[in-house]
Amino acid sequence: MATLLRKIGLIRLHNRDTEDPKHHHNNHRAGGGGGGPQSAALRGKGGAKSGGHKPPQQPHPAGGAGDASPGPGKGKGKRAAELAPRDKAPPPPAGAAGAPGAGGPRERAAGARAGPGPAAAAAAAAAGGSLVPAARQQHCAQVRSRRLMKELRDIARLSDRFISVELVDESLFDWNVKLHQVDKDSVLWQDMKETNTEFILLNLTFPDNFPFSPPFMRVLSPRLENGYVLDGGAICMELLTPRGWSSAYTVEAVMRQFAASLVKGQGRICRKAGKSKKSFSRKEAEATFKSLVKTHEKYGWVTPPVSDG
C-alpha cells in the first residue's frame, strides 16, 4: 500500500512539472536547451570549427565620431582629425589690424617682448650710424693737432726769424702770426721803418678738417691799403680758397707767399687821418672773403706772368 501511494505521488509530481509552463521555461533558461553554459561554449567552438554562418555585422561608418570600436576607415578618420588643425588659417598676430583684442594690455605686452617696430629700428639704426661721424671727427682732430704741433716746431727752428707765432687763448687752432720781414727794397718796408712798425700781425684759424682745407687768414694790424688786402683785412689769394689749397702747404710757405703778394700789389700802411686807426673786423673780413671767392669762381683767377715771380 505504501509502495502504491509513493508511485502515485511520483506520477503527480511528474505531471505537475511537465504541465507547468513556468517550470518548463525556467528549466529551459537554466539548461539552455540541454547542456547549460558548458554546452553553449562547446556549441560555439564547434560552430567555429565547422565553419558555421557568422552573424552579419552592422556596417560601421568610416571614421565615425562616436564609434569606439575599430572598423574600416577608422585609421583614415584619425589621420584626418590630426591634419585638420594644420589646414586651419593661422591666427592673426597680436596687435594686428582686425585681430580680436588688438591693442589690449596683453597684446601690447607681447609686442613689447617681441621687440621694436620698423620705425624704432630705423631710429636705432640712425642713432647707431651717428657713431661713424663721431669716430671720423676724432680722427680729424688728431690729424689736425699733430700737423699743427709739427708746424709750430718748424717755425720755432727758423733761423731768419721771418715769422713768430702766439696762440690765442692757448688754443692750438687759433694763431696770431707776426710777419717781421718783407722785401727791404719795397715801399712797404720803408713805411714800416717810418712808422716804427715792427711786424704785420695776422690771425689764422684752422678748420676741423685742416690740413685738407685752408685756414682763414686776415690782417689785424696795421691797417694796410692795396697789396691784395681788402675790407676787414681779408686777403685775396687763391691758395687760401678750397679750390687753390693743397694739404702740402705749410704755414711758413703761406706767409712767404703773402709777403710776396704784399710787395707785388704795392701794399702800403694807411696814413690817412681818421682811417689809419680804424681796426679791421673779423665779420667784415669773412663777408669780403666770401664775396671775392664767388667772384673769382665766376670769372677765374688772374695768373701773373712768370717774370713777376
Residues forming the active site: 236
Comparing C-alpha atoms, which of 243, 258, 247 is closest to residue 297? 243
Comparing C-alpha atoms, which of 181, 259, 178, 245 is closest to residue 216? 245
Q: What is the H or E stretch that residue 108 is in?
A: helix 105-114
In the three-class reduction of DSSP (H, G, I as helix; E, B as strand; rest coil), residue 202 is classed as strand
CA angle 285–287–293, rounded 5-degree value: 100
Distance CA 222, CA 233 (A): 10
C-alpha Rg value of the chain to the nearest Å: 59
CB atoms within 10 A of CB 247: 12
In the three-class reduction of DSSP (H, G, I as helix; E, B as strand; rest coil), residue 85 is classed as helix
Distance CA 19, CA 33 (A): 17
CA angle 10–12–15, rounded 5-degree value: 110
- Confirm if 218 and 233 have CB atoms less than 8 A apart: yes
- Confirm if 155 and 252 have CB atoms less than 8 A apart: yes
Question: Distance of CA 154 to CAs 149, 151, 165, 251, 266, Å?
Answer: 9, 5, 11, 10, 30
